[in-house]
A and B are shown apart, each in its own frame.
Chain A
Amino acid sequence: MRRLLLSLVVVLAGWGGEAPIIVGGASSMAEAADELASDFGQGPVEVSVAGSQILVSQVREGAPLDVVLTADEATASELVRLQVLATDPIVFATNRLAIAVAPGNPHAISGIEDLANPDLTVVLAAPQVPAGRYTAEMLEAAGVAVTPSSLEPSVRSVLAKVQLGEADAGIVYRTDISRGDVAGVEIPDTVSPVAEYYAAALATSAQPETAAAFVAFLTTPAARALLAEFGFSP
């Protein structure tokens, strides 16, 4: 029993290896963040994925994160206001919104105006999460009144509801449809707001140099190329 407890402690403390820095990544860039972590090359990185707003809550309540990647300016400036950052947040990637539709696009949706059709089951991200905020902003600017069937807790659950066939359409990120496992309709740059991804190292990091190096790595050509593979723009 005692030995078991001891080995548990050893595992939890990560003995026998270099302690990784922990990067809190916005859910919409889960896959890209994993790849960035493995390509970093200046020390081990662990990625903890959550919605941007949840990441902010985690930081506020003292979670041991070293770097935070959030999906909008609002969450980034909340971090600034909390005075927990080592440096000002930088924009390292951008994204746009897109419409996810059922395979083969049976309702022939070609733009956001089509989503106003009351016969369609449309799901959107809740306005509490960045994707939902961008969506609300875009629909309002375009003067399109969409009656959503559900305001989902994350952009990924919007995607799931469309993939499962429960919803006819949903507004997600362009990167979500560029992976090709869900049918999508692009929203022109003139209509879609730009989603900016912010990175910042936390002042509370136990490894401030590595944390700063990771943030710097995000704007290198190698990282840019990798982000582009996932559909992000610089």
Chain B
Amino acid sequence: MPLRLGVLAGIGLALLVVPIAGLLIRVPWSGLGGDLAGSGDAVRVSIVVSVLATTVAVGLGVPLAWLLARGSFRGQALLRATVLLPIVLPAVVSGVALLASLGRSGPIGGLIDDLFGITLPFTTAGAVLAASFVALPFVTLVAEAGFRAVDRNLEEVAATLGAGPWRRFRRIALPQAVPALAAGVVLGWARALGEFGATVTFAGNLSGRTQTLPLAIFFELERDPEAAFSLSLVLVVVSLLVLTAARRAWVR
């Protein structure tokens, strides 16, 4: 490897590793248990919100992925770009967009309020929606790649044997795409778990209702920085586990 590339690669690695190492150094290991116990509400909200958001993202993302993988229609490229948008959007922009549309005074949110008397901002459902919004593209992207890799000959054989489109999807394509779907679920869940900007903007911050772990970290930093370090460590560890699991599922 040319020396200059090696040096730059080394600096790149340092840029990624140094902050995490710094965090590890400053985590108050002795107070770790207490810090985590004091954040039970945030952990609970995080689990509820991320699991529900992943369920939503899988339920809607898999059909979208199928459409993108198998469809051949005008505007498909535009559709794919739209689906991927939340990945590149700053999370706060996602939050502002959710507020503008689904907030109490937004066109859709206002309608929901008028018809059902339900408002989404400041509710756990709002936090789930924000997390679903950012997790959906990850699930869709990975699932689409999985569907593309499915052996279509098998589907054609099934078709000649009389299997309809739903049966072919359910019995042939879906089982083959399972490793990719698993990777999509794990990545989507991790994204939902780490969501901050859209959540605080759209769902607000209330302990036990909308305050997830990332929000708790942000507010703890201003009150008790050491507790913020402890909670950050939890998310680093979970993220590492998720990456390992996703890679396994993907490679298999």
Q: Give the size range of A's interface with the partner.
A: 20 to 34
C-beta contact mask, A138-157 vs B, less than 8 Å → 1, else 0? 00000000001111110000
- B230 touches A (CB below 8 Å): no
- A129 touches B (CB below 8 Å): yes
CB distance B222 to A149 under 8 Å? no
Q: Which of the residues B119, B200, B210, B222 comes within 8 Å of A128, measured between beta carbons?
A: B222
- A161 touches B (CB below 8 Å): yes
Q: Which of the residues A57, A148, A166 comes within 8 Å of B222, measured between beta carbons?
A: A57
Q: Which of the residues B105, B119, B205 comes within 8 Å of A151, measured between beta carbons?
A: B205
Alpha-carbon distance A167/B104, docked complex (angstroms): 9
A57-B204 CB under 8 A given contacts A164-B99, A166-B99, A166-B104: no
Which A residues lie within 8 Å of B103 (CB)? 164-166
C-beta contact mask, B192-209 vs A, less than 8 Å → 1, else 0? 000000001001111100
C-beta contact mask, B161-193 vs A, less than 8 Å → 1, else 0? 000000000000000000000000000000000
Alpha-carbon distance A174/B200, docked complex (angstroms): 24
Q: Which of the residues A121, A148, A153, A166 comes within 8 Å of B218, measured between beta carbons?
A: A153
CB distance A57 to B225 under 8 Å? yes
- B146 touches A (CB below 8 Å): no
- B77 touches A (CB below 8 Å): no
Which A residues lie within 8 Å of B210 (CB)? 150
Alpha-carbon distance A101/B221, docked complex (angstroms): 30
Whole-angstrom distance from the CB of A45 to the nearest CB of chain B? 26
A152-B222 CB under 8 A given contacts A164-B103, A166-B105, A166-B121: no
C-beta contact mask, A160-199 vs B, less than 8 Å → 1, else 0? 0100111100000000000000000000000000000000
CB distance B218 to A151 under 8 Å? no
CB distance B222 to A53 under 8 Å? yes
Alpha-carbon distance A153/B219, docked complex (angstroms): 8
A164-B105 CB under 8 A given contacts A150-B210, A151-B206: yes
Which B residues lie within 8 Å of A151 (CB)? 204-207, 219
- A126 touches B (CB below 8 Å): yes
CB distance A126 to B105 under 8 Å? no
Whole-angstrom distance from the CB of B221 to the nearest CB of chain A? 7
CB distance A153 to B206 under 8 Å? no
CB distance A128 to B219 under 8 Å? yes
Q: Which of the residues B105, B206, B218 comes within 8 Å of A165, measured between beta carbons?
A: B105
Q: Which of the residues A128, A148, A161 comes within 8 Å of B206, measured between beta carbons?
A: A148
CB distance B105 to A128 under 8 Å? no
- B122 touches A (CB below 8 Å): yes
CB distance B99 to A126 under 8 Å? no
A54-B222 CB under 8 A given contacts A151-B206, A165-B104: yes
Q: Which of the residues A121, A153, A166 comes within 8 Å of B205, measured between beta carbons?
A: A153
- A200 touches B (CB below 8 Å): no
Which B residues lie within 8 Å of A128 (CB)? 219, 222-223
CB distance B219 to A126 under 8 Å? yes
Which B residues lie within 8 Å of A57 (CB)? 221-222, 225
Which B residues lie within 8 Å of A165 (CB)? 103-105
CB distance A126 to B205 under 8 Å? yes
Which B residues lie within 8 Å of A148 (CB)? 206
A123-B223 CB under 8 A given contacts A149-B122, A166-B121: no
- A51 touches B (CB below 8 Å): yes
Q: A153-B200, A153-B205, A166-B105 are in contact. List 9 more A-B contacts (CB 8 A).
A: A54-B222, A57-B222, A121-B104, A149-B206, A150-B203, A152-B205, A165-B105, A166-B99, A166-B103
Residues on A lying within 8 angstroms of B by beta carbon are 51, 53-54, 57, 121, 123, 126, 128-129, 148-153, 161, 164-167
